């Protein structure tokens, strides 16, 4: 893979995992009432 593909892959991974981490932190701080 060339450099651009690697950079885009890293950006996508950071976006996905960062979004998941932010969602988990948000839910842990503000639990949803059933």
Give a yes or no: residue 34 inside a domain: no
**Residue 2, SS3 per DSSP:** coil
Residue 19 covered by a domain: yes
Residue with tokens 């949803």: 32
Residue 32 lies in a domain: no
Counting the structural domains of the chain, the total is 1
The pLDDT score that the predictor gives to residue 30 is 87
Q: What is the DSSP letter of 32?
A: P
pLDDT the model gives residue 3: 97
User: Does residue 6 fall inside a structural domain?
Assistant: yes
Can you tell me the distance from the alpha carbon of 26 to that of 10, in angstroms, rounded to the nearest whole number? 24
pTM for this structure? 0.59
In angstroms, the Cα distances linking 23 to 4, 8, 9, 14, 30 are 28, 22, 21, 14, 10
Mean pLDDT score of the chain, rounded to an integer?
93
**Domain range for residue 15?**
1-27
């Amino acid at each position: 893979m060339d450099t651009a593909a690697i950079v885009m892959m890293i950006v996508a991974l950071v976006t996905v995992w960062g979004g998941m981490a932010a969602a988990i932190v948000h839910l842990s701080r503000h639990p949803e009432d059933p």
